[in-house]
């Protein structure tokens, strides 16, 4: 895919309002949802200099803060069971329950971004 000849100045300053677009650049949000979302993995190679701004917009990757600020109605948790190779999953409305499962039981979590980032 050829890169656009003009890069929007708004993508040089990453803020909650443009984080998604900046992260998937040079792909447009429209193309992402049409061709990639729920269909295949996406790898974006980018300038490492952007990472501190991305990290800051994501609450410095502090899991507790990200869970507290999620706009998701529930957090989805996948955790290993005592049976080797098996997992169990559940949803919770309590961020602290999801956090504890992650820290104590090596659970994986799925939840959405904060309301601020959705606007």
C-alpha span between 54 and 22 (Å, rounded): 9
Per the structure, how many domains does the chain have?
A: 2
Average pLDDT over the chain, rounded to an integer: 81
**How buried is residue 18: exposed, middle or buried, by Cβ count under 10 Å (0-12/13-18/19+)?**
middle
Beta carbons within 8 Å of 94's beta carbon, 6+ residues apart? none
Three-state secondary-structure class, residue 48: helix
Mean pLDDT of 28-44: 86
Cα–Cα distance, 89 to 34 (Å, whole number)? 28
Indicate the residue among 20, 39, 57 that finishes a domain: 57
Answer yes or no: do 8 and 53 share one domain.
Answer: yes
Tokens at residue 60, please?
């410095």
* pLDDT for the residue numbered 101: 93
Q: Looking at residue 92, what is its pLDDT?
A: 95
Cα separation, 111 vs 102, whole angstroms = 13
- What is the span of the domain harbouring residue 78? 62-119
Residue 8's pLDDT is: 55
- Mark whether 71 and 49 lie in a shared domain: no
Higher confidence at residue 64 or residue 117? 64
pLDDT at 81 over 80: yes
Residues 67 and 101 in one domain: yes
Residues 48 and 94 in one domain: no
31 and 67 co-located in one domain: no
């Amino acid at each position: 895919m050829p890169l656009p000849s003009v890069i929007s100045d708004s993508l040089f300053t990453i803020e909650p309002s443009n984080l998604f677009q900046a992260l998937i650049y040079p792909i447009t949000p429209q193309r992402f949802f049409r061709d990639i979302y729920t269909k295949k993995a996406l790898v974006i190679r980018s300038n490492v200099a952007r990472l501190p701004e991305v990290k800051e917009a994501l609450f410095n990757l502090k899991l507790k803060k990200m869970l507290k600020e999620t706009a998701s109605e529930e957090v989805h948790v996948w955790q290993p069971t005592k049976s080797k190779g098996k997992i169990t999953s559940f949803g919770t409305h309590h961020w602290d329950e999801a956090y504890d499962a992650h820290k104590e039981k090596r659970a994986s979590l799925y939840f959405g971004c904060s309301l601020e980032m959705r606007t």
